[in-house]
Amino acid sequence: MNLAHLLQRMARQFPNRAAIFHGTHAVATYAQWAQRSAHLAQQFQDAGLQPGDRVALFMHNHPRYLEVMFGAWWAGLAVVPINAKLHVREAQWIVDNAKASWAFITSDVTADVTTDTGEQLQGLQRVIDVDSPNADDLWALPHASDKPPTKPIVERQSDDLAWLFYTSGTTGRPKGVMITHRNLMTMGLAYFTDVDAITAQDTIAYAAPMSHGAGLYAIPHLMAGARHVVPASGGFDAAELFELGQAVGPLSMFAAPTIVKRLVDHAEQTQQTAEDCGNAFKTIVYGGAPMYAADIQRALRLMGPRFVQIYGQGESPMVGTALSRFHLSDTTHPEHAQRLASIGVAQTPVQIRIADEQGHDLPLGEVGEVLIQGDSVMAGYWRNPEATQAAIREGWLFTGDMGCLDAHGFLTLKDRSKDLIICGGSNVYPREVEEVLLQASGVSEVAVVGAPDPEWGEIIVAFVVTQLGSTVTAQDLDTYCLKEIARFKRPKRYELVDSLPKNNYGKVLKTELRQRLAQP
Ligand code: AMP
């Protein structure tokens, strides 16, 4: 089933209900949202786009995100959400790899600080800046009314591609994760079973990037006919969210642990009571990176029982495990402390097991790779059968996360088998950064690792061996990175060293570098 039917259904049942807000300003009812999406669908079709074709969204959070996403689905197309923090050249690589036909952008993504002129995306049939007056023809409804659109939805099978999401790749290039309509339907339903009940009176706020899991939470909130709010700032601003929550909330939202911490800091600094917090926020779903037990305890103490943890990954979006509001608050349970440090139990639609490298089950309590099976797991990597075969074996997704299960089904993550660094909820593969730094003049060798950090979870540190006679400085390297990669991937620290520790085969011993960083 095509997900666009969810929107059509709501538009038919509740045409006049306010659906999309920009800040406190209502910008679309359910009928208008559906009309605009259907109208966009018509224009995709008029331009010759065929079912299965791709439309890229290189946009910061914007109310039109939802209209474009559902417009593409209405026409049977797939969306390619691109992290708005990427460098234009990185976005271009994704657009080319996905062979996207159209791209929707917000003007700020291409007005990049690194180039005075701003680089534009190339090779597309059409690039639409959603803020530009030129885009208005796409939104101008010929017969605007309160009626839901009559334009039929292009039928799609549940296993057809809906969302082509690019994750950072171990090889330095991102891989397109093929997420189907079934995957997203499963994710939407699992929100109700494992995260929270949603009613039409609820409000989801998009404070984290809509190109990621936060944007996907539009689906369960659409299923319930709830309200969708894009903060006027387009992102996270604690004071703004508190005010917005009072005005149009209480809000539900997804946030990485770093953001939760900032929200809690704000609650403390501005002396909000748990009751104030309850008026502003209904449910804060956190995940995407490890949350320290002390941080969640503090969050619960200051903001009340409004947290739920989820664990998932691009390859099984938002669906893996969940640590419920109940378990987080069950303080008298003898294993409460361990549970707080865990990521909860398997969400309803999936099975989870822990296996060794060959995929054999490990006994309870032993640390191995986390494997997931179920209807949320991706169809595979886009045009990359080798990577797909490595990730999905005999129907199980090998997540690359290492963890152990207890007798009650709680999963605790211990490490990652992949080399990934998660900085403030954003994933960075060291290889990507290393490849860039190796091209900087005066650099001979590089090893990039993550170092624990109380604010960001991890920060990126580059160990750099310079060429003989080179006078390259950390500042030069930073300037170089700024020109070549997304800002959030730049190392926060550079250690200029004479040599890198290596084993007999010449492989850099990153564990040793991490240990060096852990020393005071
Ligand atoms: P992404 O594909 O960007 O969603 O990143 C997924 C990765 O983030 C997972 O494979 C984990 O390593 C990490 N992750 C996701 N959720 C959690 C969580 N609740 N706690 C710890 N790490 C997490």
What pLDDT digit, counting tens, does each position of 201-215 carry? 999 999 999 999 999
* Parts of the chain belonging to CATH 3.40.50.12780: 4-156
pLDDT per residue as tens digits for the range 375-386: 999 999 999 999
User: Is the CB–ligand 1 distance for residue 481 below 6 Å?
Assistant: no
User: Is the CB–ligand 1 distance for residue 288 below 6 Å?
Assistant: yes
Supply 217's token pair: 């939470």
- Is 251 a residue whose pLDDT tops 80? yes
Edge-first strand order for the sheet with 78-81 is: 126-129, 102-105, 54-58, 78-81, 161-167, 175-180, 380-381
pLDDT per residue as tens digits for the range 430-481: 878 888 898 899 998 899 999 999 889 899 999 999 988 999 999 999 999 9
User: Is the CB–ligand 1 distance for residue 320 below 6 Å?
Assistant: no
Supply 348's token pair: 């309803």
pLDDT per residue as tens digits for the range 412-431: 998 666 678 989 888 888 87
pLDDT per residue as tens digits for the range 30-48: 999 999 999 999 999 999 9
Span from the CA of 295 to the centroid of ligand 1 (angstroms): 17
Which of 150-159, 259-268, 510-519 bottoms out in mean pLDDT, i.e. has the lowest?
510-519
Q: Where are the alpha helices (DSSP H) in 14-58?
A: 30-46
Report the run of H or E that residue 391 belongs to, with start and end.
helix 385-391
Tell me how far apart the alpha carbons of residues 60 and 167 are, in angstroms, rounded to a whole number: 17
Looking at ligand 1, which atom is closest to the CA of residue 286?
A: 19
- Is 497 a residue whose pLDDT tops 80? yes
Pocket test residue of 427, 458, 488 for ligand 1, highest count of atoms within 8 A of CB: 427
Looking at ligand 1, which atom is closest to the CA of residue 427?
A: 3
Which pLDDT belongs to residue 417? 63
pTM to 2 decimal places: 0.88
Tell me how far apart the alpha carbons of residues 296 and 306 are, in angstroms, rounded to a whole number: 11
Supply 235's token pair: 């992102």
**Residue whose structure tokens are 């369960």:** 220
- pLDDT over 70 percentage in the chain: 95
The arithmetic mean of pLDDT across residues 164-187, rounded, is 88
User: Is the CB–ligand 1 distance for residue 311 below 6 Å?
Assistant: yes
420-518: CATH topology: GMP Synthetase; Chain A, domain 3 (3.30.300)
Which pLDDT belongs to residue 116? 45
Which of 217-221, 257-261, 266-270, 382-386 bottoms out in mean pLDDT, i.e. has the lowest?
257-261
Supply 433's token pair: 């950064």
- Is 17 a residue whose pLDDT tops 90? yes
Pocket test residue of 295, 378, 401 for ligand 1, highest count of atoms within 8 A of CB: 401
Length of the chain: 520
**Ramachandran category for residue 394: left, alpha or beta (phi over 0 → left; psi -120 to 50 → alpha):** left
Q: If we measure between CA atoms, which residue out of 462, 410, 474, 465 comes closest to residue 432? A: 462
Which of 107-111, 154-158, 429-433 bottoms out in mean pLDDT, i.e. has the lowest?
107-111
Which pLDDT belongs to residue 249? 86
Which pLDDT belongs to residue 506? 61
Which pLDDT belongs to residue 113? 42
Looking at ligand 1, which atom is closest to the CA of residue 420?
A: 12
The residue whose CA is least distant from atom 21 of ligand 1 is: 290
CATH 3.40.50.12780 fits 4-156, yes or no: yes
Mean pLDDT for the chain overall: 92
Which pLDDT belongs to residue 518? 81
Pocket test residue of 86, 211, 310, 313 for ligand 1, highest count of atoms within 8 A of CB: 313
Which pLDDT belongs to residue 193? 98
User: Is the CB–ligand 1 distance for residue 101 below 6 Å?
Assistant: no
Taking CA atoms, 70 is separated from 20, 184, 209, in Å, by 13, 13, 17
- Is 224 a residue whose pLDDT tops 90? yes
Q: Are 225 and 13 in contact (CB under 8 A)?
A: yes
